[in-house]
Amino acid sequence: NKAPKSFVYKMLRKKNIKLNGKKATGNEKLSQGDQVCIYLAEDTINKFREEVKAGKQKIKLDVLYEDKNVIMVNKPWGILSQKSKPEDISINDQIIPYAVNQGLISEKELQVVKPSICNRLDRNTTGIIICGISIEGLQTMAEMLKHRDMKKYYLCIVKGKIEGSQKVSAYLKKDEKTNKVKVSKQEIAGASHIETAYEPVISNDEFTLLKVELITGKTHQIRAHLASIGHPLIGDFKYGDKKINQEMKQRFGLKDQLLHCTEVVFPRDMKTCKNLSGKKIQAPLSKRFDMIKNDLFGRT
């Protein structure tokens, strides 16, 4: 980060930065499998290196699983996955101090690898956040999330009675200005194909507790997709039913969507991060979600 652009272009001209073994100009677009090699003296590397320190643990993390490669955290309501302003406190900036305190990584190793979250949840969504600690963990989790090699399940409470399992697909397009997405059954320009599967856990005539499998993972996918088929999440003022949301606000003080990433299931024969082979990581519901569920459906 400290190296100026002029230095980078100088290194390109002197062939100290090569793309696939050949001279590079810096204008190339990288493709999967490309190899970038940088040849710098140790003194030069040290000059531009930013020292990373663990810092202090500001919030207690609810850790569901940990090993030398990954940490799984149960994110509480109201906490950011990643900070948007320097003064924010997020799960992401608490991973390094936790990992160092637990002896999962040393401060010396932080100069080479920076532990961080691999998936994000909205501020008001709770549940499992996957964090990479080592290079192996970061790369493996990134690849698995990209290729959808792990199964991710969510719990939510929606409007209406749903009696059978379904797998639905549609097209989703995000409006960057409003930070809102539009779901369409027909393909539209600039839209991404989405798939969502769900099964009812408990239902009555008014509401259903759904277990949702996020097959594709797009912005606000569960919230917008379920709303588009007539089953919006309770408390979701962006995509939901105004009348029901007002009722939930008065009854429970609910001002946001009730959505929880409850389970992540890893494939059996993993080539890297082998400790996770066949593992099922589960996150208990927040007290708020559990209280509302019990009130609407009775204790289960």
Please tell me the pTM assigned to this model: 0.83
Q: How far apart, in whole angstroms, are the C-alpha atoms of residue 221 and residue 214?
A: 8
- Per-residue confidence (pLDDT) for residue 54, from 0 to 100: 61
Burial 64-86 (b: 16+ CB within 10 A, else e): bbbeebbbbbbbbbebbbeeeee
Tokens of 153: 């399940």
- Per-residue confidence (pLDDT) for residue 8, from 0 to 100: 85
Q: Where are the alpha helices (DSSP H) in 90-241?
A: 91-101, 135-147, 221-228
Contact, 153 vs 211, CB < 8 A? yes
Q: How far apart, in whole angstroms, are the C-alpha atoms of residue 51 and residue 53?
A: 6
- Per-residue confidence (pLDDT) for residue 34, from 0 to 100: 85
Tokens of 6: 């002029």
- Per-residue confidence (pLDDT) for residue 79, from 0 to 100: 94
Chain centroid, CA 76 distance in Å: 14
The whole-chain average pLDDT of the chain stands at 92
Q: How far apart, in whole angstroms, are the C-alpha atoms of residue 68 and residue 102?
A: 10
Which is nearest to 263 in space by CA: 212, 202, 188?
Answer: 212
Residue pointed to by tokens 């272009």: 9
- Per-residue confidence (pLDDT) for residue 44, from 0 to 100: 76
Residue segments in the chain with a per-residue pLDDT below the cut of 70? 1, 46, 48-54, 300
- Per-residue confidence (pLDDT) for residue 176, from 0 to 100: 85
Q: How far apart, in whole angstroms, are the C-alpha atoms of residue 205 and residue 217?
A: 30
